[in-house]
Amino acid sequence: MKALVLSGGSGTRLRPFTHSMPKQLIPIANKPILQHVLENISALGVTEVGIVVGVWEQQITESLGDGSALGLRITYLPQDAPRGLAHAVVIARDFLGDDDFVMYLGDNVLPDGVAEIAEEFGRARPAAQVVVHKVSDPRSFGVVELGPAGEVLRLVEKPAEPRSDLALIGVYFFTAAIHEAVNAIEPSARGELEITDAIQWLVTHGGDVRAGEYDGYWKDAGCVEDVLDCNHKLLDGLRGSLAGEVDEESVLTGEVVVEAGARVVGSWIEGPVVIAAGTVVESAHLGPYTAIGRDCLIRHTHLDESIVFDGATVSSVGRLRGSMIGRSAIVVATGDDSRAEARI
C-alpha cells in the first residue's frame, strides 16, 4: 500500500501565520502537523508516500527532504491550484499505479492512529473504506449514511438535516477502483472535483464501500484554537528528558523536555513543557502545555498553554496564556500587561 498526503491548501483560518508558511508546517508539540501525519502513515507499514504540494512546495520539501529521516520515500506532486481532493488522485495517477493507497489530509491530527481500520481494509479490500467519527453537529461535515450491514449508502456534504452523526474526517483507503470514479465525475458547484462525489459514484455503480469508525481524539487543525487544543493533547503524552543545560537555581516539575543545546537559567518550569535546541529560557516561568521551538529567547516572562515558533523572542511580558507566537517574532512588554494574551 502507498500513501497520498494532501498539503496544498491555503490555510486562511490560520492567518497571519499562513501568510509566510503552510499550515501543514505549523508546529504542534514541536513537530510540524505534517510530521505527525507521516508518523501515523509510517506506523501502518507504508513507506512510499506522495505529497501533493502547492505554492508552499519549497518550504515543505526543505522541511521533510526525501523522507528518509522518517523511514519513508517521498515523491512530491505539484498541483497548480486547489482543485478538489479527487483532483489530487488524478494528478497522482502515475505515482499510485494500481496499488491500494491511503489518502490522508495533511492538517488532520489523529494521535491514536488508524492502524485497526487499515487492517480491516487490508482484509476485506473494498473498493473504498472511509474513516468516520461521531460528531455533535454533523451539519458542518460530509456525512456518511450506512445500511443495515454497515455498508455506505450515501455521502452528503454538509446536510441541513443529517441522517447520521458520522462525519468524514479526512482519511480514506482506496483500491485502484477509485481511478475510474474520479475520471467519471464532473466538477462541483464550487469548481472542484470532490472525493465525496467519486465515492458516491462507486456506491451508485455497485462498488463495495465501507466505513471504519475512529473513536479517538481528532482535530482538523485549521484554526488557532484547534492547534492549541492539539498541542495540549499531544503534550499529555510527553516523557521528560534533560539533554540540555539546567542550572541549580531552576525548578522543574512534571514532564519537561530540554533538548541538547537548550539552556534553562533561573527559571520555574511546570510540565508538560518541551524546549527545543538552541533556545534560552532565563528568569522565566513556563506553565503546563507549552512548546518552545528552536533558537528562541524567553526571558522575564510567564508563559503557559502556548506555542512559540522557531526564532521568536518573548521578553519582560508579565503573562501570556493560550497564545501562538510566530516565527522570528519579537514580543516585548511596553506597559502594564501582566495579564496579556497574544497571537502573533
Residue 341: pLDDT above 50? no
222 pLDDT more than 80: no
Contact 127, 111 (CB under 8 A): no
pLDDT top residue among 237 and 37: 37
Q: Which one is the CATH code of 238-332: 2.160.10.10, 2.40.40.20, 2.40.10.120, 3.40.50.300?
A: 2.160.10.10
Given the C-alpha cell 484554537, which residue does it identify? Answer: 225
Mean pLDDT estimate for the chain: 90
Instruction: Please tell me the predicted confidence (pLDDT) of residue 11.
Output: 63
pLDDT reading at 5 higher than 70: yes
Pair type for strands 313-315 and 330-332? parallel
How big, in percent rounded to 5, are the helix, strand and coil portions of the chain? 25, 30, 45
pLDDT of 49 reads: 97
Chain-centroid distance, C-alpha 56: 16
The answer to whether the beta carbons of residues 222 and 17 sit under 8 Å apart is no
- Rounded distance between C-alpha atoms, residue 293 and residue 325, angstroms: 10
Give the pLDDT of residue 18: 67
Which DSSP category does 298 fall into? E
- The Cβ of residue 136 has, within 10 Å, a number of other Cβ atoms equal to 7
Query: How confident is the model over 120-137, as pLDDT tens digits?
Result: 999 999 999 999 999 888
For the chain, first and last CA: distance in Å?
A: 41
User: In the predicted model, what is the mean pLDDT of residues 182-201?
Assistant: 89
- Res. 15: pLDDT tops 80: no
Region 286-299 average pLDDT: 96
pLDDT at 337 over 50: no
Query: Is the predicted pLDDT of residue 338 greater than 60, yes or no?
Result: no
**Residue 24 CB contacts under 8 Å (≥ 6 apart), including other chains:** 7, 9, 11, 32, 33, 34, 37, 56, 60, 106, 107
CA distance 190 to 212: 28
Distance CA 336, CA 213 (A): 50
**CATH code for the part of the protein at 2-234:** 3.90.550.10
Q: Show me where the domains of the chain are located.
A: 2-234, 238-332
Tell me if 301 sits within 8 A of 325, measured CB to CB. no
For residue 23, the model assigns a pLDDT of 82
Exposure b/e, 228-238, CB count within 10 A at least 16 = b: bbbbbbbbeeb
Selected residue with higher pLDDT from 290 and 7: 290
* Residue closest to 291 by CA, chosen among 261, 263, 246, 323: 323
Q: What percent of the chain has pLDDT above 70? A: 95
Query: Which stretch of 58-62, 136-140, 314-318, 323-327 has the lowest confidence by average pLDDT?
Result: 136-140
Asked if the domains 2-234 and 238-332 are classified in one and the same CATH topology, the answer is: no
Residue 30: predicted pLDDT: 94
CB contact at 8 A, 248 and 260: no
Nearest to 303 by CA among 258, 327, 337: 337
